A and B are shown apart, each in its own frame.
Chain A
Amino acid sequence: MPGKKDLHIESSGQLCIYCGACVGMCPLNCIYLDETRITFDERICTRCEICVKACPVAAIEIG
């Protein structure tokens, strides 16, 4: 997506603990939690990086 940095949510379980902190804190409600999967809506996300701060275990990176 032009003009947007890459947002990567590691939700395969190597880092992610599926706690939902990112989901609850996303101001645009564009992160979704299944029991074993976290996804986000590329079209809505503005890369505000709140989820990066919310995540207690560094499973979300922006670059």
Chain B
Amino acid sequence: MPSTITTDVLVIGAGPAGSMTAKWAAMKGARVLMIEKRQEIGSPVRCGEGMSKSWLPEVGIRPSSRWINLEVEGARIFSPREQAYVINEKHAGNEVGYVVERDAFDKQLAIDAGNAGVDVKLKTAALSLLKEGRQVVGARVKEYGETYDIRAPVTIGADGFESQVGRWAGIPTNLALRDMDSCLQYRMTNVDSDVRYCDFYLGKVAPGGYVWIFPKGDGLANVGIGVQCSQIKGPGEARKYLDAWIANHPAYSKGKKIDMVGGGVSISPPLKQTVADGIMLVGDAARMIDPLTGGGIANGCIAGKICGEVAAEAVELRTPTKEFFQKYEKGWRARLEEKLYRNWIAKEKLCSLPDEVFDKVIEALQSIKLEKLSVHNILKAVNQTHPEVTREFAELL
């Protein structure tokens, strides 16, 4: 029999959602152990590295030059004809505001967790969940080659897009092809990007997704692409589309690639269920990524705070049940679900729009000043000049 250690809350995965959950559970008095399968928290980076800033105080993150590359003024959305619509940062989605060093950001959140009393184990992978009947009571793990059990009344699955924990717990997390993006990004140097903006290119350059440029200053930028899986026909299309886009843009084709990262992103409606007896899912593992922007950090952290607080309370009250975890389920949904759902509907429509329509939408937006940027306001504005374009979106108007 493998040996056993015990804790109150076991957090599997030390990304932003995991660290945030761990920190808040510890701050509310629980003993917390966070495990990370890699040897280094935050590395390798699998991210575009753009984030908004309005949500940071809500979860207790203090902006720091240790992880902020630069602050952008806004975003530019480029139509297929490459007409730009400029969005001020305050009105943009969750991806604009700071361009960050994700490895340093993730490490800072882990440091905050550690300082709050969380124990951290690196090079420790979860192998399976421990169960007593339907109740999850921890996980069997392998730390540096040694297999043992960690028993905990509350287990948190914060293991990212490729989450195993949710599947082991029997929580349905499978996604439809149209609700997933295949993504690839190069970090490029010697490129001419405008450091005032994060740029997004729509249309058939990236079917069902977009090409992004997140400037990092000094001629450095993250140049990446997400392509909707249901629009992919053959192997390696994300790379083909991205390479084609770069080849067609002289400001980038002269650049040098110094890094390459890939990954999957969910662009799905919210899951029906993110908890079971003894277990809660958070962040990308719970499919909390914004389906319109593909951004997951803010939502993962916001839900993480709620998750950590509920975890600590369940430990204190000895109620780590599916029923008690409804407090988390309801909490994160009250904060995030409506927007996730609306943005999923918007994504569904946008993914099928032909380039001519994108051109018309951007054209219409250029001529209007919006008070507040939201899918609803954009559609209302476009409806005034191009009602034929918004007909499909009637349910969002």
Contacts and interface: CB of A to CB of B under 8 A. Distances in A.
Contacts of A19: 46, 261-264
Interface residues of A, number: 23
Given A29-B167, A56-B182, A56-B239, A21 B177 contact: no
Nearest to A17: B262
Interface in B222-256: 229, 232, 234-239
Interface in A35-54: 35, 50, 52-54
Contact of A56 (B162, B174, B262): B262
B162 A20 contact: yes
Contact of B264 (A27, A52, A54, A60): A54
Interface of A: 17, 19-25, 27, 29, 33, 35, 50, 52-61
A30 to B, nearest CB: 11
B77 interface: no
Nearest to B184: A56
Given A20-B162, A21-B264, A24-B161, A54 B235 contact: no
A53 B161 contact: no
Contacts of A35: 37-38
A60 B235 contact: yes
B175 interface: yes
B162 A61 contact: no
B232 A33 contact: no
B264 A58 contact: no
Contacts of A53: 177, 182, 229, 232, 235, 237
Contacts of A55: 182, 235-236, 262
6 contacts: A19-B263, A20-B46, A24-B161, A29-B164, A56-B184, A56-B236
B3 to A, nearest CB: 23
Q: Which residue, A19, A23, A33, A57, has most C-beta atoms of chain B within 10 A?
A: A19
A50 B229 CA distance: 8
Which 7 residue pairs across A and B have the least CB separation, nearest first?
A58-B236, A19-B262, A56-B238, A24-B162, A21-B264, A56-B184, A58-B235
A21 B239 contact: no
A29 B164 CA distance: 8
Q: Which residue, B167, B183, B262, has most C-beta atoms of chain A within 10 A?
A: B262
